[in-house]
Structure 1
Amino acid sequence: MTSQSHPKIVGILLAAGLSTRMGRPKQLLPFGNNTIIETVIDNMLSSNFDDVRVVLGHCAEDIKKLIMDRGVVTVYNPDYRDGMLSSAQIGIRSINFPYISRPSSTSCEKSYETNRDAFSLMLVDQPFITTELINRTIDGYRETNKGITIPSYNYQRGHPVIFHCKYAKEIVSLGDDSGGIRSLYQSYANDIHYVNVDTDHILKDIDFPDDYTKALQESKNSNS
């Protein structure tokens, strides 16, 4: 693969989950002056992603009403109960990568550009991943000839992860017993570029009510 001077990168936000461990839709929980999902979307829109799309499922209509003025493309995953892999796959299918079949027209809000070289996967429960952290990962991807770029803190992989489009077909073909997207990290270890960062924010997610309470306090402290 040749050096990637300025590949066009799609940011895909996975926001379709049931929030079972939280007990209520964490996408819609207040966070700062907005909600968790609005915070994450705003960080993505302020970054160097060339476009942003959001995969919805549980509470899709409520979430779509909330974010409809933010200029993002939404993609509906009818199989959101099957887990995060299904949402990643339908998000990738919404991009016109070669040899990848598109989802049905009812799943996608509009047609998409074909000149996209890579895609990034982000999780809706990680509002501490700032625009700066996203851009550091994007810069790392653009500075290497590796096909996968992952931010790392103390040798732990975080998000967002950026994939060259050559991996799209393999990811959308993964089955439930495949080990998921993480299986690619072992299969293609020599094609991974790690971007070392000095914060654990790339690792933090909000799964349980206690996580949310701690996240609110940390956000309050950082803004005080």
Structure 2
Amino acid sequence: MGTPKQLLPIQGRSLLRHLAEISIASLCNPVIVVLGASIHQTRAEVEDLPLQIIENQHWQAGMGTSIGTGLAALLEQEPALNAVLILVCDQPFVSTALIDRLVVAYQSAHHQIVATSYLETVGVPALFGDRYFSQLLRLNSDVGARQIIQQHLHQTHTIAFPKGAIDLDTPEQYQAFLTGALT
């Protein structure tokens, strides 16, 4: 991208701040943001919000390490935690309403994994019950939580999120998003 994608402006704020604010407004509490590369720049975007910032010193090893680092910090803070919701920073169409739908589905359907589905994929945003915490803590690759979802697909409740397929990984995707070509 040439710049940390977390800092890309959307709707008058950075992508990171947008996702942090919608998370804070959701049913999820507490909210933890895991930062790695460019932490000095990204921290400034969210340090005034009511959330906890965790540094992943092993971010180069892949997004799995961010999940494990964040979950470990969350469990330290909330030892009786029974579920965790995982978001990534490059999906601009995630909303508070979507996060709340995942939480309500988890609470009412008694599934241990509630994930979003898009483009024949099941992935994040996703909510995991405590049965999967040990697997999430051991992640250390770029595959992330999706590999756990795939291994337990028969136990996963899905919520359609077609716009979940839109992520901002390249300058071209970001420009298409800004021009409205990705809606």
Instruction: Tell me the TM-score normalised to structure 2 length.
Output: 0.89
The letter of the residue matching 1:113 is: E
Question: Is the 2:115–2:158 Cα contact (8 Å) retained in structure 1?
Answer: yes
1:202 is paired with a residue of what secondary structure?
helix
- Residue matched to 1:24: 3
- Residue matched to 1:170: 135
Assess, with a 3 A threshold, how the Cα gap between structure 1 residues 126 and 23 changes in structure 2: closer, same or farther: same
Residue 181 of structure 1: CA displacement?
A: 3.0
- Residue matched to 2:95: 130
Structure 1 residue 80 corresponds to structure 2 residue 59: yes
Question: Is the 1:157–1:203 Cα contact (8 Å) retained in structure 2?
Answer: no
Identity of aligned residues (%): 27
Question: Is the 1:45–1:52 Cα contact (8 Å) retained in structure 2?
Answer: yes
Question: Is the 2:123–2:149 Cα contact (8 Å) retained in structure 1?
Answer: no
Distance in 1 (CA, whole Å) between partners of 2:113 and 2:99 is 14
Q: Which runs of 5+ in 2 are unaligned?
A: none
Assess, with a 3 A threshold, how the Cα gap between structure 1 residues 186 and 158 changes in structure 2: closer, same or farther: closer
Distance in 2 (CA, whole Å) between partners of 1:31 and 1:80 is 24
Within-5 A mapping of 1:33-182:
33-96=12-75, 112-153=77-118, 155-174=120-139, 176=141, 180-182=144-146
The letter of the residue matching 1:143 is: S
Question: Is the 2:14–2:45 Cα contact (8 Å) retained in structure 1?
Answer: no
Q: Which runs of 5+ in 1 are unaligned?
A: 1-21, 97-110
The structure that is helix-richer by fraction is: 2
Residue 176 of structure 1: CA displacement?
A: 4.5
Residues 172-223 of structure 1: per-residue CA shift (max 9 Å, x gap): 224559x6533323432232111234xx22221100001111112239x98x
Instruction: Tell me the TM-score normalised to structure 1 length.
Output: 0.74
- Residue matched to 1:4: none
Distance in 2 (CA, whole Å) between partners of 1:45 and 1:175 is 27
Flag the structure with larger Rg.
1
Question: Is the 2:112–2:128 Cα contact (8 Å) retained in structure 1?
Answer: yes
2:65 is paired with a residue of what secondary structure?
helix
The letter of the residue matching 2:55 is: Y
Residues 122-165 of structure 1: per-residue CA shift (max 9 Å, x gap): 00111211111111111111111111001224643243100001
Provide the alpha-carbon RMSD of the alignment. Answer: 2.3
Residue 86 of structure 1: CA displacement?
A: 0.9
Question: Is the 1:147–1:163 Cα contact (8 Å) retained in structure 2?
Answer: yes
Distance in 2 (CA, whole Å) between partners of 1:38 and 1:176 is 25
